[in-house]
Amino acid sequence: MAGTEDDNLRLSPDSPCIDAGDNSSVPADTADLDGDGNTTEPIPFDLDGHPRIIDGDCNDSNIVDIGAYEFAWAYIGDFDDECDVDFEDFAIFALAWLTEPGQPQYNPACEISIPADNSIDWHDLDILTDNWLTGK
């Protein structure tokens, strides 16, 4: 039913849609969303504003996902993009603890709650610990 909690169309870590798209099928960035002056490159962002063509399954190949949202380990605790969740990621998270947009230590990469609530708090810590030592 539209408008209920089950409307989340983001990919889960075990989705077969991760890195299963066709990069050449991504439409051109005619609106220049990233402001780089290049309107012929593929659209650079997904609907959440995250990079559109990335290595979502950490196999060293940048392939677009199938769907409106890209999956990346960064969204579940890999803040340094090394395809694992370890002490370095915890350090990044700890620096952002209890911050909100506009504060000096705020780090939007730590907004791992879906949907993001613009606050780095215990909900995000729960997600980080659930994914501790996962990845490559």
* 66 and 82 inside one domain: no
**Residue 41: predicted pLDDT:** 95
* 53 and 89 inside one domain: no
Q: For residue 1, tell me if it sits in a domain.
A: no
Residue span of the structural domain in which 86 resides: 77-130
| Mean pLDDT, all residues of the chain | 80
**Residue 134: predicted pLDDT:** 67
Q: Which residues of 121-134 are buried (b: 16+ CB within 10 A; e: fewer)?
A: eeebbebbeebeee
* 123 and 83 inside one domain: yes
Q: Could you give the number of structural domains in the chain? A: 2
* The model scores a pTM over 0.75: no
Q: Indicate if the pLDDT at residue 129 is higher than 50.
A: yes
CA-CA distance, 9 to 78, in Å (whole number)? 21
Final residue of a structural domain among 42, 71, 100:
71
| pLDDT tens profile 21-70 | 999 999 999 999 989 999 999 999 888 788 889 888 878 889 999 998 88
Calculate the CA 49 to chain-centre distance: 9
CA-CA distance, 85 to 90, in Å (whole number)? 8
Q: For residue 136, tell me if it sits in a domain.
A: no
* 90 and 67 inside one domain: no
* 62 and 18 inside one domain: yes
Rounded average pLDDT over 76-80: 75
Confidence band for 83, pLDDT divided at 50, 70 and 90: confident
**Residue 63: predicted pLDDT:** 93
CA dihedral 1→65→45→40, nearest 10 degrees, is -130
* 120 and 96 inside one domain: yes
CA-CA distance, 9 to 6, in Å (whole number)? 8
Q: Indicate if the pLDDT at residue 114 is higher than 50.
A: no
